[in-house]
Amino acid sequence: MPKVKLGKLEKIKIEKIKKEAKEFRKELENRIITLIVSAFGFVTALAWNDAMTSWINTFIKPGDVWYYKIINAIIITLISAIVIYLIVKFSRRK
């Protein structure tokens, strides 16, 4: 294959394309990592929801009545909000 001499403009364009491809790949990798971490976080949240519901059931007898589900949701929301607040507060100390 014969060598083709590239002009200055072509070299600049090729470098720009390489740079954009590298940035795209890095952004794609970051998005994939974010999606994977989010999926694990969702699974963890489901497990904690089940655990907290079981714990709450030891104090409040479960039933099919609507107010049991509301009380359960309020308690889980309060616990989650406190944990999230503490995590954010701790992460900002660094």
Residue 12 reports pLDDT greater than 70: yes
Residue 13 reports pLDDT greater than 80: yes
Instruction: Indicate whether 1 belongs to any domain.
Output: no
Instruction: Indicate whether 25 belongs to any domain.
Output: yes
Owner of token pair 């009380």: 71
Instruction: Indicate whether 3 belongs to any domain.
Output: no
Instruction: Indicate whether 13 belongs to any domain.
Output: yes
Residue 88 pLDDT class (50, 70, 90 cuts): confident
Per-position DSSP letters for 39-63, written without gaps between them: HHHHHHHHHHHHHHHHHHHTTS---
Expressed as residue numbers, the domain containing 74 is: 8-92
